[in-house]
Amino acid sequence: MSVFEAGMMVCFGISWPIAAYKTYKAKCVHGKSFAFSCLIMLGYIFGIIHKLFFYTDWVIWLYLLNMLFLGIDMGLFLRYKNNSPGVK
Protein backbone atom coordinates (compact mmCIF):
# COMPACT_ATOMS: atom_id res chain seq x y z
CA MET A 1 0.00 0.00 0.00
CA SER A 2 1.29 3.40 -0.90
CA VAL A 3 0.59 6.06 1.68
CA PHE A 4 0.91 8.64 -1.10
CA GLU A 5 -1.74 6.95 -3.23
CA ALA A 6 -4.04 6.80 -0.21
CA GLY A 7 -3.37 10.48 0.50
CA MET A 8 -4.24 11.42 -3.07
CA MET A 9 -7.46 9.44 -2.89
CA VAL A 10 -8.42 11.04 0.44
CA CYS A 11 -7.85 14.53 -1.00
CA PHE A 12 -9.98 13.74 -4.04
CA GLY A 13 -12.47 12.03 -1.75
CA ILE A 14 -12.93 15.24 0.21
CA SER A 15 -13.26 17.32 -2.95
CA TRP A 16 -16.07 15.39 -4.69
CA PRO A 17 -18.73 15.66 -1.96
CA ILE A 18 -17.97 19.38 -1.66
CA ALA A 19 -18.33 19.83 -5.43
CA ALA A 20 -21.58 17.85 -5.47
CA TYR A 21 -22.98 19.85 -2.54
CA LYS A 22 -22.15 23.15 -4.27
CA THR A 23 -23.81 21.96 -7.47
CA TYR A 24 -26.88 20.85 -5.53
CA LYS A 25 -27.18 24.16 -3.66
CA ALA A 26 -26.55 26.36 -6.72
CA LYS A 27 -28.55 24.16 -9.11
CA CYS A 28 -26.14 25.43 -11.75
CA VAL A 29 -23.24 23.67 -13.47
CA HIS A 30 -21.67 26.66 -15.21
CA GLY A 31 -17.91 26.12 -15.38
CA LYS A 32 -18.12 22.33 -14.99
CA SER A 33 -17.13 19.89 -17.70
CA PHE A 34 -18.90 16.56 -18.04
CA ALA A 35 -16.13 15.29 -20.33
CA PHE A 36 -13.53 16.10 -17.68
CA SER A 37 -15.54 14.19 -15.08
CA CYS A 38 -15.75 11.22 -17.48
CA LEU A 39 -11.95 11.22 -17.82
CA ILE A 40 -11.53 11.23 -14.06
CA MET A 41 -14.03 8.37 -13.77
CA LEU A 42 -12.04 6.45 -16.37
CA GLY A 43 -8.89 7.06 -14.33
CA TYR A 44 -10.59 5.61 -11.25
CA ILE A 45 -11.66 2.58 -13.27
CA PHE A 46 -8.06 2.04 -14.40
CA GLY A 47 -6.90 2.41 -10.79
CA ILE A 48 -9.37 -0.25 -9.66
CA ILE A 49 -8.32 -2.59 -12.46
CA HIS A 50 -4.70 -2.18 -11.38
CA LYS A 51 -5.66 -2.93 -7.78
CA LEU A 52 -7.60 -6.04 -8.78
CA PHE A 53 -4.89 -7.51 -11.03
CA PHE A 54 -1.65 -6.44 -9.37
CA TYR A 55 -2.02 -5.34 -5.75
CA THR A 56 -5.32 -5.51 -3.96
CA ASP A 57 -5.40 -3.53 -0.73
CA TRP A 58 -7.82 -1.35 1.21
CA VAL A 59 -7.19 1.67 -1.03
CA ILE A 60 -9.55 0.08 -3.56
CA TRP A 61 -12.38 1.17 -1.25
CA LEU A 62 -11.24 4.78 -1.61
CA TYR A 63 -11.42 4.41 -5.39
CA LEU A 64 -14.96 3.06 -5.11
CA LEU A 65 -16.03 5.78 -2.67
CA ASN A 66 -14.58 8.47 -4.94
CA MET A 67 -16.39 6.95 -7.92
CA LEU A 68 -19.64 7.08 -5.96
CA PHE A 69 -19.25 10.77 -5.12
CA LEU A 70 -18.08 11.62 -8.63
CA GLY A 71 -21.08 9.73 -10.01
CA ILE A 72 -23.38 11.80 -7.80
CA ASP A 73 -21.74 14.99 -9.06
CA MET A 74 -22.10 13.79 -12.66
CA GLY A 75 -25.77 12.98 -12.05
CA LEU A 76 -26.31 16.48 -10.68
CA PHE A 77 -24.60 17.88 -13.77
CA LEU A 78 -27.04 16.06 -16.00
CA ARG A 79 -29.97 17.16 -13.88
CA TYR A 80 -29.03 20.86 -13.76
CA LYS A 81 -27.32 21.40 -17.11
CA ASN A 82 -30.47 23.02 -18.51
CA ASN A 83 -30.39 25.60 -15.69
CA SER A 84 -26.98 26.84 -16.81
CA PRO A 85 -26.72 29.07 -19.86
CA GLY A 86 -24.14 27.95 -22.36
CA VAL A 87 -23.77 24.42 -20.93
CA LYS A 88 -24.53 21.54 -23.26
Q: Residues 10-67: pLDDT tens digits?
A: 998 999 999 999 999 999 898 889 999 999 999 999 999 999 999 889 999 999 999 9
From residue 17, alpha-carbon distances to 21, 27, 68, 86 in Å are 6, 15, 10, 24
Question: Where residue 87 falls among pLDDT bands split at 50, 70, 90?
Answer: low
Question: What are the start-end ranges of the H helices in 27-54?
Answer: 34-53
pLDDT given for residue 53 in this prediction: 95
For the question of whether the overall pTM of this predicted structure is more than 0.75, the answer is yes
Q: 16: burial class by Cβ within 10 Å (0-12, 13-18, 19+)?
A: buried
